Amino acid sequence: MLKKVFVAPDPGRLRLRSAARAVLGIGLAVAVCGLAGHSLVAAITGGLAALLALFTVTDATVRGQAVTTALLPVVGFPVLALAAVLHDHPVARDVAFLAVVAGGVYARRWGPRGHALGVFAFMTFFVTQFLRTMPGQLPELYAAVALSLVASSAVRFGLWCYERRLPPPAAQPRDEGRGLARTTTRQAIQATVGGAVALVIGQMLSGERWYWAVGATWWIFVNTASRGETLVRGFRRVLGTLIGIGVGVVVLVPLEGAAVPTAVLVAACVFGIFYTAAVSYTWMMLSVTLMAGALYGLLGVLDPGLLALRLMETGIGAVGAVLAVLFVLPVTTHATTDAWIQRALRCVHVCTAEAAARLSGSTTADPAPHVAELEAILGRVRLSLAPLVHPLSPLRARKARARHVLALLDECAREVRGLASIAGDPEASHDARLAAACWRVEAAVEALTAPEKAARQRVAAASAEGPRQGVAPARVEGSLPVEGTAGVEGSARVEGSTPVEGSQPAVAVAVAVAEPALAHLHSLERALAELATPLRSSPRAPLIDA
């Protein structure tokens, strides 16, 4: 588990920069609240608001992120007031909490902005239970949240806005359909049912800390799109909480809420949350559990019994989530994972086309942003396939095939990265063999993502060629329809077609650049050909169906 976190790739050190910026932004937010004379409760509320703004706002553009951040108080302030007013009315409070759960999950249908606003609304209600907010505290809490969002935004959009130089993140596949055919609708119902189960059992266990169970159910549903993903996330949440409580007993309880060491520990936990979120939910939950325990220490209520209660409430929340995803409008992993695999393959197509254009002399073609997008998409593929490749999965055959798909997709990504680096070489020049190989790769992608279209292209190409032999087929709609992907020997190679202009050394350089590029293309072609077997399995034994 340690290796997974600290050896995991971090292209551009994005995780490191995100974690460091979060510590700086949240630290500044809390400091501003302190300088403004706010109470400890208000400073904690402001710090959590800053954390949520930095963690959940993930719009594709910096402008979009700024707009979503500005909308957070519009959603959060009314929910904060509602929760505070209903604090002494348990039945109405519980109904309102479940309504916020349903609305927060359903808001995902509006993309990253809806997701961020839904999370902020839920956490605003949650924090009022955590801090026992009363109506008289609202003005101070509003001011603390506003100051914290301004401070964290100054860091995110002013002092350290590295997103301006990054390609936009991979977009989610569209949630098609209406009513119960829409995934977000089904998950909203699931989360509400699961939250209701967690709320009832959690209140039976503790009349004061029941909200931890509802919070566990909520966060298990966040960023999941299928039954399998939710089950795996629930297991990892309980495991991370268990480890965090063990560490908390050793580290937090002896501190007895001492301000300076606790503040340092909270900063370390914030760093851990942001640094590990993309690679290990277990480690992220360990950091969240330690941070929550540290905040309880600052409030003077931390003891081993409270940590044990935290673990039991988390377990109840996980049970609520599991029951909901298994028995209430279950969403299988097949459709979700297939959509992400299709996106990954199409991104390979775009990367190859951009590299081919660059190798042909285009000054505007650039495969680098698409390579970054491919890495992001593959992260989603891994998340979708996590239920099958999990060590506890009993489906051995499907586990092996899922791992095979992941390995081949990773190989495609490696070859695309290598091809992009060669295409960026200023000495790279056009070679007919490279063009033919790129077309074959595009055709292989078409065969996997749109087999009927690829078949029509092959027929059209065969009709256009007629009886000619030994000539590369004409390109049809951006790809070269060829039978099979045999590699170097089976490729449509045009001998002597490398343009020879200028001096002999220039030709030698061009050939030296072309040969490694050809190697990457042939390896990519071979990996795509191998993908056909697991992705075209019999419907009676689907590759991915949880």
pLDDT (tens digit per residue) in 144-166: 999 999 999 999 999 999 887 76
Q: Name the residue with higher pLDDT: 378 or 118.
A: 118
- What would the two tokens of residue 258 be? 């001492």
pLDDT score at 166 = 67
Q: Name the residue with higher pLDDT: 279 or 142.
A: 142
Q: What is the DSSP string of 104-147?
A: HHHGGGGHHHHHHHHHHHHHHHHHHHHHT--GGGHHHHHHHHHH
Average pLDDT over residues 232-245: 91
Q: Is the pLDDT of residue 390 over 80?
A: no
Confidence of residue 129 (pLDDT cuts 50, 70, 90): very high
Q: Is the pLDDT of residue 516 over 50?
A: yes
Enter the pTM of the model: 0.75
pLDDT score at 465 = 54
- What would the two tokens of residue 147 be? 């100051």
Which has the minimum average pLDDT: 40-49, 69-78, 348-357, 444-453?
A: 444-453
Quote the CA–CA distance of 112 and 65 in Å, as a whole number: 9
The angle formed by the CA atoms of residues 529, 398 and 347, to the nearest 5 degrees, is 40
Please state the φ and ψ torsions of residue 475, each to the nearest 5 degrees: -80, 130
Quote the CA–CA distance of 351 and 333 in Å, as a whole number: 27
Helix 40-56 and helix 138-154: axis angle, to 10°? 40
Q: Is the pLDDT of residue 328 over 80?
A: yes
Which has the minimum average pLDDT: 116-120, 200-204, 315-319, 512-516?
A: 512-516
pLDDT score at 7 = 66
Decide if 205 contacts 313 (C-beta within 8 A). Answer: yes
Average pLDDT over residues 299-316: 91
Confidence of residue 91 (pLDDT cuts 50, 70, 90): very high
Q: What is the DSSP string of 262-278?
A: HHHHHHHHHHHHHHHTT
Decide if 247 contacts 286 (C-beta within 8 A). Answer: yes
Confidence of residue 540 (pLDDT cuts 50, 70, 90): very low
Among residues 336, 129, 149, which one has the least CA distance to residue 225? Answer: 336
Average pLDDT over residues 533-541: 62
pLDDT score at 464 = 56
Quote the CA–CA distance of 378 and 12 in Å, as a whole number: 17
Q: Is the pLDDT of residue 503 over 60?
A: no
Helix 62-85 and helix 138-154: axis angle, to 10°? 170
DSSP H stretches of helix in 225-303:
227-255, 259-276, 281-298
Confidence of residue 467 (pLDDT cuts 50, 70, 90): very low
Residues of the chain with pLDDT > 70: what percent? 79
Strand partners, 479: 476
Confidence of residue 336 (pLDDT cuts 50, 70, 90): confident
Average pLDDT over residues 101-124: 94
Q: What is the mean pLDDT of the chain?
A: 81
Confidence of residue 402 (pLDDT cuts 50, 70, 90): confident
Quote the CA–CA distance of 213 and 317 in Å, as a whole number: 4
pLDDT score at 501 = 47
Helix 333-359 and helix 227-255: axis angle, to 10°? 90
Q: Is 476 left (phi over 0), alpha (psi -120 to 50) or beta?
A: beta
Quote the CA–CA distance of 374 and 332 in Å, as a whole number: 24
For CA atoms 497, 499, 504, 505, give the dihedral sign: negative
Q: Is 437 left (phi over 0), alpha (psi -120 to 50) or beta?
A: alpha
Quote the CA–CA distance of 207 and 103 in Å, as a whole number: 25
Average pLDDT over residues 463-473: 47
Look-up: residue for tokens 């660059």?
358
Please state the φ and ψ torsions of residue 11, each to the nearest 5 degrees: -55, 130
Which has the minimum average pLDDT: 304-308, 408-412, 489-493?
A: 489-493
